[in-house]
Structure 1
Amino acid sequence: MKFEENDAGDRRQVGKSQPYLGEKHQANGKPVANGIAEVSIKQEANGRCDVPRKSLNTYSWQEIQRHNQEADLWLVINRKVYNVTSWVSRHPGGQRVLNHYAGEDATDVFRAMHLERDVVQLYLKPLLIGELAPGEPSQERNKNSQLVEDFQELRRTLETMNMFNANFMFFFLHLVQILVLEAVAWLMLWYFGTGWPITICISLLLTISQAQSSFLQHDVGHLSVFKKSKWNHLMQRFVMCHLKGLSTGWWNYRHFQHHVKPNIHRKDPDIDVGPLFLVGDLQPVKYGKKKIKYINYEKQHLYFYLSGLPLLMPVYFNLQSMQVMYLRKYWGDIAWVSSFYIRYFITFGSFYGIFGTVLLIYLVKFLESPWMAYVTQMSHIPMKMGEEENRDWFTTQVVATCNVEQSFFNDWFTGHLNFQIEHHLFPTMPRHNYHKVAPLVRSLCTKHGLQYVNKPLLKAFGDIVRALKKSAALWMDTYYET
């Protein structure tokens, strides 16, 4: 099978029984034992070990689209047809990610989400069952083939420009920033004691450290900072579990779904916020027609300040993380998360005691929560939400995301997630390159009549509340109609 890129497959692990794709394995799951096997992988990636065309069955899109159920799941990558039904439960990115692309062309999402694609080839080969018939287009007929080709050409151009190569020093300095903030907080406590002014200063320093840890964890979860994937995996656990006290398995499983189908109901968990909030245009109308009123949704844009902002991190994310770790038996994550609390008790316990240290932890999470809520929601809540329309990758990402204007402060404050459009189009691209590719993405949007939304930071914050207010109005109109 031919792939024009060579920059790699998804190495993240979800579940202890699943193979870790950051290491080289044979198709039976055993590690590659010698250089011959490694060479064979690279040959396959270059097309030299491809199955002869005459031995492959050919399929029409009509036939492929019938295999779109969890128990019967086909998808297409580079015109090759794969039956991934038996692989779904072992997919390191979670089975729902594959379910979301059942019966569809997955070429661009495959390229976007995987780093070490030459290794992933080894897992794809036994799943290959055929190819598209010669007369069939490379994508479903409802998609804009010219836009798909233009986007793929843009990706090839960016790869030629080395835009997917991470600057190790950039991320190293980011980690140093986090560790220095935590060290200064402890030194202030050791030198000045536990007075209220010092405690407030310490809490603010730790809050900044936690927020910046969130951004670094997000980076390491998506891209290859280190040359060896096992070091990326270890770094992600160190930052997410040890520095933040949250599960990497939980985050990966949830976040990958958000990336492959953003703002699509029943496929993006980030917009599954009912019954507390109603978002978009469809969900409020659905609740209104069914006369559902768990809460007074007319005021949701107001109680967003009382619940959504302060409780996202200390309550919602923490409880979800703990629940997933326990139910899925992520023992490694449990051990690493335990080290987060042990570290806090060792560092601050002698000053504040056990109860005081627990209060400090949740005060920091409480302060971090509005920061993370604004940054993560400003680029999606105000944008288009709807049911599955089977759009091409480029359109799917652009209509569901928006950018925030670039400045030194905005880049730092958002962890470069102000370039949300570029991040969603190229998740494995290091964030220090987003501003370089933004003009090319904007140009492609202009060519194909797609709106490239770029806002001031404060307007983006305000648009979250305005979007909630608009959704509340839709619910009211439907709920109270006679």
Structure 2
Amino acid sequence: MNLDASPRRGSDFAELSRSVKQAGLLDRRIGFYVLCLVGAIAALGATITAMVLVGDSWWQLGLAAVLAVVFTQIAFLGHDAGHRQMFATNKVNGAIGLLLGNLVVGVGFGWWMGKHNRHHANPNHEDEDPDVDIAVLAFSAEQAQRKQGFFRFVVKHQAWLFFPLLLLEGFSLHVISAAAAVRREVRGWQLELVLMAVHVIGYLGLVFTVMSPLKAVVFIAVHQGLFGVYMGCAFAPNHKGMPVLTAGHQLDFLRKQVLTSRNVTGGWFTDFLLGGLNYQIEHHLFPNMPRPHLRRAQSMVRDFCRERSISYAECGLFTSYGYVLKFLHEAGAELRDTGKLARSAST
């Protein structure tokens, strides 16, 4: 795939965008999102009620897994609100995002949206995409060589450690987003901190009230661990293993978004499981497109790309994880080879 090739026409995206707008695919689906919000809050309420009824029992660990799913589905809705997919005004979408992110899930909405918007602007760019700048992972041989100490060891074996590392992702999201608010790096940091504090007090109060200290600690570990795994497994297939851009690339907007993204094929269950992120190409081209329109947009975008000989990547969910692990394994190959040479020299 030649990432430096100049596009045939600079107006390709404008042409596609006109077709998408004429099809009504950027129109709001308020009813859909109201139903989703009501369903998510109902699921959260039912799970909390079940926790109170089950009481001090190890059966709570099953509810920890259920709560991890509920939290992730609510986080997906926060993602949609952040992209202004839900309602017509930024104010309403922002308020929904704050409530879902900071208050319900406990992850700072302002921090996450700042990072996520930078990712959308330059997906898979080694210098400008924050999702390609992760301390415990490397996405190129050059990144791997820059790692030191413990992180170097992790990157050397990152394909094997990738899924275990996701167990820490939920905790990481809480800590990093709270720290950004404490450092006043986000607008409205006072409100964000208050909402996160209410979340922490309510969450810990519930868990330690209905369970003994040991069960409560195990519940938190299982819940937050599975929440991190679910979130990581939803976002990882989208770009990992796709071309990594560097300074000087000459791709237009359409090609930059399409060539660095991967769709995950499947039916309605995949749509639900991944919160619409399985239509990653369409989402990156039209971030404010409501989730239920992404499936319809897919056929239009895929045909448009095929007509212009633009590579359009899509595969099944488990195949996508295979690509991710293969990519991570290859990125750390030089470190393993260096280690082998060092051991050979010492003998």
Q: What TM-score does the superposition give when structure 2 sets the normalisation length?
A: 0.88
Instruction: Tell me if 1:304 matches 2:167.
Output: no
For CA contacts below 8 A with separation 6 or more, give which structure has more relative contact order.
2
Pairing partner for 2:72 from 198, 211, 224:
211
| RMSD, aligned CA | 2.6
- State whether residues 257 and 284 of structure 2, in contact with CA within 8 Å, keep that contact through their aligned partners in structure 1: yes
Higher helix share: 2
Partners of 2:76 and 2:325 lie apart in 1 by 23
- State whether residues 282 and 386 of structure 1, in contact with CA within 8 Å, keep that contact through their aligned partners in structure 2: no
Partners of 1:172 and 1:350 lie apart in 2 by 32
The secondary structure found in structure 2 opposite 1:164 is coil
Structure 1 348/452 Cα, relative in aligned 2: closer, same or farther at 3 Å? Answer: same
Instruction: Tell me if 1:323 matches 2:168.
Output: no
Instruction: Tell me if 1:182 matches 2:44.
Output: yes
Pairing partner for 1:267 from 92, 116, 128:
128
Task: Compute the displacement of 1:323 (Å).
Answer: 1.5
Partner of 2:255: 395
- State whether residues 344 and 357 of structure 1, in contact with CA within 8 Å, keep that contact through their aligned partners in structure 2: no
Q: Please, which runs of 5 or more residues in structure 1 have no aligned partner? A: 1-141
Partners of 1:263 and 1:467 lie apart in 2 by 13
The secondary structure found in structure 1 opposite 2:157 is helix
Q: Please, which runs of 5 or more residues in structure 2 have no aligned partner? A: 343-347
Structure 1 170/354 Cα, relative in aligned 2: closer, same or farther at 3 Å? Answer: farther
Task: Compute the displacement of 1:296 (Å).
Answer: 5.7
Partner of 1:435: 295
Q: State the AA in 2 paired with 1:230.
A: K
Task: Compute the displacement of 1:224 (Å).
Answer: 4.1
- State whether residues 280 and 381 of structure 1, in contact with CA within 8 Å, keep that contact through their aligned partners in structure 2: no
- State whether residues 281 and 386 of structure 1, in contact with CA within 8 Å, keep that contact through their aligned partners in structure 2: no
Q: State the AA in 2 paired with 1:324.
A: A
Pairing partner for 1:365 from 211, 215, 224:
224
Structure 1 293/238 Cα, relative in aligned 2: closer, same or farther at 3 Å? Answer: closer
Partners of 1:252 and 1:387 lie apart in 2 by 23
Partner of 2:139: 279
- State whether residues 264 and 279 of structure 2, in contact with CA within 8 Å, keep that contact through their aligned partners in structure 1: yes
Q: State the AA in 1 paired with 2:318.
A: L
Pairing partner for 1:234 from 75, 79, 95:
95
The 5-angstrom pairing of residues 15-164 of structure 1 reads 143-144=6-7, 146=9, 148-164=10-26
Partners of 1:387 and 1:245 lie apart in 2 by 34
Post-superposition CA distance 1:6-62 (Å, at most 9, x none): xxxxxxxxxxxxxxxxxxxxxxxxxxxxxxxxxxxxxxxxxxxxxxxxxxxxxxxxx
Partners of 1:396 and 1:339 lie apart in 2 by 40
Post-superposition CA distance 1:244-292 (Å, at most 9, x none): 1011111011101100001111200001123x222135434x549x999
Structure 1 420/293 Cα, relative in aligned 2: closer, same or farther at 3 Å? Answer: closer
Structure 1 373/346 Cα, relative in aligned 2: closer, same or farther at 3 Å? Answer: same
Partner of 1:343: 202
Task: Compute the displacement of 1:448 (Å).
Answer: 2.4
Partners of 2:37 and 2:219 lie apart in 1 by 22
The secondary structure found in structure 1 opposite 2:211 is helix
Q: State the AA in 1 paired with 2:48.
A: W
Instruction: Tell me if 1:374 matches 2:233.
Output: yes
Instruction: Tell me if 1:472 matches 2:320.
Output: no
Pairing partner for 2:58 from 196, 211, 217:
196
Task: Compute the displacement of 1:173 (Å).
Answer: 1.9
The 5-angstrom pairing of residues 448-459 of structure 1 reads 448-459=308-319
Task: Compute the displacement of 1:327 (Å).
Answer: 0.8
Q: What TM-score does the superposition give when structure 1 sets the normalisation length?
A: 0.64
The secondary structure found in structure 2 opposite 1:344 is helix
Q: State the AA in 2 paired with 1:227.
A: A
Task: Compute the displacement of 1:192 (Å).
Answer: 3.3
- State whether residues 158 and 332 of structure 2, in contact with CA within 8 Å, keep that contact through their aligned partners in structure 1: yes
Q: Tell which deviates more after alignment, 290-299 or 151-160.
A: 290-299
The secondary structure found in structure 1 opposite 2:81 is helix
Partners of 1:421 and 1:283 lie apart in 2 by 26
The structure number with the bigger radius of gyration is 1
